[in-house]
Amino acid sequence: MRSKTNLVFIVMLIIVLLLTGCAQPSQPGNEVSDLVTEEMNQDYDDMEITIATGGTGGVYFPLGGAMANIFNAYVPGLSASAESTGAALANIDLIRTGEADVAFTQNDITYYAYTGTEMYAEELDPVENLRGMAILYPEFVQIVSLGDSGIEEVEDLRGKKVAVGAEGSGTEANANHILEVHGINEDDMEEVLNISFAQAVMKMRSGQIDAAFVTAGIPTSAIVEMTETLDVNIVPVRSEIISMISSRYPFYVEVTIPERTYTGQSEDITTAAVMAMLVVPAELPEGLVYNMTQAIFEHQESIIAAHDRGNDIMLETALIGMPVDLHPGAARFYEDHLD
């Protein structure tokens, strides 16, 4: 009787050991985010992606760095890095060539690239694999001039040395549109420089140029630094001019740079703006794009900590001004989270 009891005990002990052996303890640092469903996590595994941003003195760069950190922390199986680039137009080409997987750009540039119009009409074929992920915030066209340059209106750029943005950048496209509507061409200016805003700041500090265009969210860190040490003007774009621009290029809207945005700015300044947005290639896995989109909106506080423009990134406005089809992963996210 005793031996039978011992046998039963041994059998039960073996069963318990087998059951406990199957239940592996969780490993530190391998927790799956509670944001991500198993269904959405099935179409990719251990991916590395590159986020194309912009110059280090602009807004794309800090926001892209914050998003990379969010993706690494909250999107399982993903390793993301943010890279400084030539910004909007350059980023479109990086998506085209597969050198970037997520890119900051402008909604006007995205539309032109997708439809093969404007600057893409002759030089490049349409970029048909572009898909929308989210509209982010307004990008203000800011024209900065030295205080002693005599440039107080756009018309005053005639006969001056002006930086119009890096070649192939969204800033260059915006500068060309604004100058065009004012009837100003390259021959009307003493010198036109295709350089980044960071380079333009150095040349303005040394007095080598009189003014520079930059399209970015406000406050733009490089302009903040300039206004703290240099006497500069933020040149307005008049309302009637913005109406003329938007009749030709419907992505432009009128916006106001509030007074005291920059040191020495004593009044509101009217200018034009387009919308910053995120694009991805059509071939990116649906579940991955779903998870990245969700991570952005669930962890917006990290983006706000990187730059004030993070406050403008809202789920309610993420589709306003979307110029191309949404990526299916982003579309599913908005279907799940927008009423």
Domains and CATH numbers, the chain: 47-137+276-337 (3.40.190.10), 139-274 (3.40.190.10)
In tens, the pLDDT along 147-167 reads 999 999 999 999 999 999 988
pLDDT given at position 291:
96
pLDDT at 50 over 80: yes
For range 176-203, the mean pLDDT: 95
pLDDT given at position 2:
42
pLDDT given at position 41:
53
Question: Model-level pTM?
Answer: 0.73
| Partners of 162 in the β-ladder | 192, 211
For range 271-300, the mean pLDDT: 96
